[in-house]
């Protein structure tokens, strides 16, 4: 586990209130917490964030939970109750950032919308992540990451021509939105240093995916061209594909630089393709991608994956193979760069992903795994001035 000096953390002293659940909001506040922010996560009493029960469980709690909620404090609070809403206002009064990913209008219905909270705390920065954003004709529709990936254009490009669209395998639409949200928070903090004022950050899942779509729209606008799914290939960039080896595995080869392409063709003993003037540059190679891919595939299928990888490394051709979890946790490069760390959790010692990005002087850290439900409720509420008797009364009424 990283043991860093808390005083050296970039976001030390920043107070973040997380009112989100599942992925998009909590992923954003996770990153802020990794770099020193105090993250107070508000969860429904008795049940908590649904992510606690997602995927593989150990000792009754999701292993994912210990990644997504590390470094956070858990406070249980009924946001639908007036007393719970009043506690939120007390928390927000001196907070720097509020993160939420409810459907637009939900917080306003509880009297906790941007207008009210920003009047209470003009320095507040409010990150709001939703399926379609806080405005527009679709704002009130429910939207999970899968919908953002579909509307943003990613699902249309995923898979093989003529086949049903496939998902990436992780909740990439949510995570992309989280990253855009963190960027927004950091920008707003920088601006607040000048103006002294907070602001509202509106992140939509579909827009976060759409922002990754490269030249999709300009190509359509200029040529009426609609980009279609292309399986494992990278359309218009040649060669860049996956190729089968004789042990049933696959390698990924990116030989699309001009000099790299020549070295690759020489390696596979296709000097004719290396010297062909049509293939000197990518635009010519892209017009004959099938021919070039076939030549590479004829070479890889004669060798094992390890033989192919070693030969490509020696020829200085970028190559790799699809890692699974077992490959990742034993890879020496992952380990050397502290991308696999061990943290103490309620499930025992647990290997988890390391912290990104890597700062040379003030790096992030993992302090602890995901908290137990309501683990910090008493400490946090006592810090707001609520007595033992007041907290007990709230607990008896199901508010906390």
Q: Which two tokens stand for residue 283?
A: 């635009």
Cα dihedral across residues 290, 291, 296, 302: positive or negative:
positive
Contacts of 191 (CB under 8 A, 6+ apart): 199
Give catalytic status of residue 379 as yes or no. no
Distance between terminal CA atoms of the chain? Answer: 32
Catalytic residue among 78, 174, 202, 293: 174
- DSSP states along 11-70: TTT-EEEE---SSHHHHHHHHHHHTT-EEEEEE-TTT--GGGGSSSEETTEETTHHHHTT
Nearby residues of 234 by Cβ (< 8 Å), 6 or more positions away:
240, 241, 256
Structural contact between residues 120 and 40, judged by C-beta atoms closer than 8 angstroms = no
Q: How many CB atoms lie within 10 A of CB 152?
A: 24
Residue 103 DSSP class: P
- Burial class, 315, CB count within 10 angstroms (exposed 0-12 / middle 13-18 / buried 19+): middle
Catalytic residues: 174
């Amino acid at each position: 586990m990283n043991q860093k000096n808390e005083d050296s953390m970039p976001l030390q002293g920043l107070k973040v209130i997380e009112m989100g659940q599942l992925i998009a909001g909590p992923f954003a506040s996770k990153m802020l917490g990794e770099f020193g922010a105090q993250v107070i996560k508000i969860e429904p009493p008795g049940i908590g964030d649904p992510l606690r029960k997602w995927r593989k469980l150990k000792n009754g709690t999701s292993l994912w939970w210990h990644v997504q909620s590390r470094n956070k404090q858990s406070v249980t609070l009924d946001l639908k109750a007036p007393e719970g809403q009043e506690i939120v206002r007390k928390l927000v009064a001196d907070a720097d950032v509020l993160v939420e990913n409810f459907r637009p209008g939900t917080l306003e219905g509880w009297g906790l919308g941007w207008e009210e909270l920003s009047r209470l705390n003009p320095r507040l920065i409010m990150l709001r992540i939703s399926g379609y954003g806080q405005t527009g004709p679709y704002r009130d529709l429910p939207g999970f990451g899968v919908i953002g990936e579909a509307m943003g254009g990613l699902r249309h490009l995923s898979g093989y021509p003529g086949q049903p669209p496939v998902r990436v395998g992780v909740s990439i639409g949510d995570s992309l939105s989280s990253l855009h949200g963190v960027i927004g928070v950091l920008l707003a903090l920088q601006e607040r240093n000048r103006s002294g004022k907070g602001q509202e950050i509106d992140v939509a899942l579909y827009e976060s995916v759409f922002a990754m779509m490269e030249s999709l729209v300009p190509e359509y606008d200029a040529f009426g061209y609609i980009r279609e799914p292309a399986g494992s290939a990278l359309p218009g960039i040649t060669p860049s594909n996956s190729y089968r080896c004789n042990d049933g595995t696959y390698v990924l080869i990116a030989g699309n630089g001009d000099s790299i392409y020549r070295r690759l063709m020489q390696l596979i003993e296709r000097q004719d393709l290396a010297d062909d003037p049509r293939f000197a540059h990518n635009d010519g190679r892209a017009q004959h991608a099938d021919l070039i891919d076939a030549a590479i595939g004829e070479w890889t299928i004669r060798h094992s994956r390890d033989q192919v990888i070693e030969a490509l490394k020696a020829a200085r051709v970028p190559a790799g193979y699809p890692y699974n979890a077992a490959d990742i946790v034993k890879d020496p490069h992952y380990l050397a760069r502290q991308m696999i760390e061990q943290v103490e959790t309620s499930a025992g010692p647990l290997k988890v992903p390391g912290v990104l990005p890597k700062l040379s002087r003030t790096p992030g850290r993992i302090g602890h795994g995901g908290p137990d439900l309501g683990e910090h409720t008493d400490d946090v509420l006592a810090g707001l001035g609520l007595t033992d008797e007041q907290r007990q009364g709230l607990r008896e009424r199901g508010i906390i």
